Amino acid sequence: MQLMRLGPARAERPAVRDDEGTTFDLSPVTHEIDGAFLDDDGIARTRDALAGGGLAVLDPDGLRVGAPVAKPGAVLCIGQNYAAHAAETGDPAPSLPVLFFKHPNTVVGAFDDVRVPRGAEKTDWEVELAVVIGRPARYLDSPDAAQACIAGYTVSNDVSERTFQVEQSGGQWSKGKCCETFNPLGPVLVPADEVADVQRLRLRSWVNDEPRQDSTTADMIFGVDYLVWHLSQYLVLEPGDVINTGTPQGVALSGRFPFLRAGDVMETEIEGFGRQRQHLVPG
């Protein structure tokens, strides 16, 4: 089962795709796939509706694919969380998770254009596993308690402008992370209990059809459950919040590839979660 939001920006309708690949209109169950829906047993209610056979078939052809969760209250990001990526940046692997934030309004659909910001010189791609919170997480007792707070997973592209991030940062990274359209999300939200092993997922990215990143979540320094537990010791995670869990090696910051420019095409993919594709356009 995969949850989706289809239609024009700010007018998406909720949808669900079953295991046979048929898409159904989820409007009888909810008006939106958001934190309130996830916190109100939305995934279980969706399964019940599918099993009951009362949902109308929806033809997704020609419909824009929006981000699979609407209006996240927070987008929390973990830096240098893959061992090989930390090595390619020349920095030691962190001993504790590195946290920074993206403005929630950076979130766009998986196939929406990404705008290269004014003054940009070093725009970069970052395929990431995104965690979507489904229950409040506050002072969790252990990483084992994290799964009860996770609604599902999706694909994130943590687009970054490295000049803003590093050279104009003042010591923080968010200037290079919060530019307009800098967080394509989706295309689908996969329920957490349908992912056999979240630490064994293949992540890949391409630029102009040329391979860039190819790794697995097994290379994470801090695993998903640990991250949710760790963050809950410092802040309250709310339903609908998104956690970008870090990117593997193979970004332009490594010096191995050119940075992005208007006219380029990015693609990012996580096995079982679908593939994104974005055109870079002038800001």
Task: Tell me how far CA of residue 26 lies from CA of 7, 188, 228, 240, in angstroms.
Answer: 13, 14, 29, 18
Task: Tell me how far CA of residue 75 lies from CA of 125, 156, 197, 214, 241, in angstroms.
Answer: 17, 11, 23, 24, 6
Q: Are residues 238 and 116 located together in one domain of the fold? A: yes
In a domain, 106, yes or no: yes
Q: Identify the pLDDT of residue 265.
A: 98
In a domain, 65, yes or no: no
Q: Are residues 8 and 120 located together in one domain of the fold? A: no
Distance CA 221, CA 62 (A): 40
Q: Are residues 9 and 139 located together in one domain of the fold? A: no
Q: 232: domain CATH number? A: 3.90.850.10
In a domain, 263, yes or no: yes
Domain that holds residue 18: 2-52
Q: Are residues 116 and 224 located together in one domain of the fold? A: yes
Q: Are residues 45 and 79 located together in one domain of the fold? A: no
In a domain, 59, yes or no: no
Distance CA 169, CA 163 (A): 8
In a domain, 58, yes or no: no
Q: Are residues 10 and 84 located together in one domain of the fold? A: no
In a domain, 63, yes or no: no
Q: Are residues 40 and 92 located together in one domain of the fold? A: no
Q: Identify the pLDDT of residue 208.
A: 98
Tell me which H or E stretch contains 114.
Answer: strand 114-116
Distance CA 69, CA 184 (A): 12
Domain total of the chain: 2
Q: Identify the pLDDT of residue 46.
A: 98
Counting every residue, how long is the chain? 283
Q: Are residues 26 and 107 located together in one domain of the fold? A: no
Q: Are residues 128 and 83 located together in one domain of the fold? A: yes
Q: Are residues 13 and 133 located together in one domain of the fold? A: no
In a domain, 135, yes or no: yes
Overall pTM > 0.85 = yes
Q: Are residues 34 and 165 located together in one domain of the fold? A: no
In a domain, 108, yes or no: yes
Q: Identify the pLDDT of residue 87.
A: 78
User: Of 169, 161, 180, 174, which is closest to residue 120 (Cα–Cα)?
Assistant: 161
Task: Tell me how far CA of residue 187 lies from CA of 122, 176, 197, 240, in angstroms.
Answer: 26, 24, 20, 16
Q: Are residues 117 and 28 located together in one domain of the fold? A: no
What is the residue-level pLDDT of the chain in tens, covering all 283 positions?
999 999 999 999 999 999 999 999 999 999 999 999 999 999 999 999 999 999 999 999 999 999 999 999 999 999 999 988 777 777 788 999 999 999 999 999 999 999 999 999 999 999 999 999 999 999 999 999 999 999 999 999 999 999 998 888 777 788 999 999 999 999 999 999 999 999 999 999 999 999 999 999 999 999 999 999 999 999 999 999 999 999 999 999 999 999 999 999 999 999 999 999 999 999 8
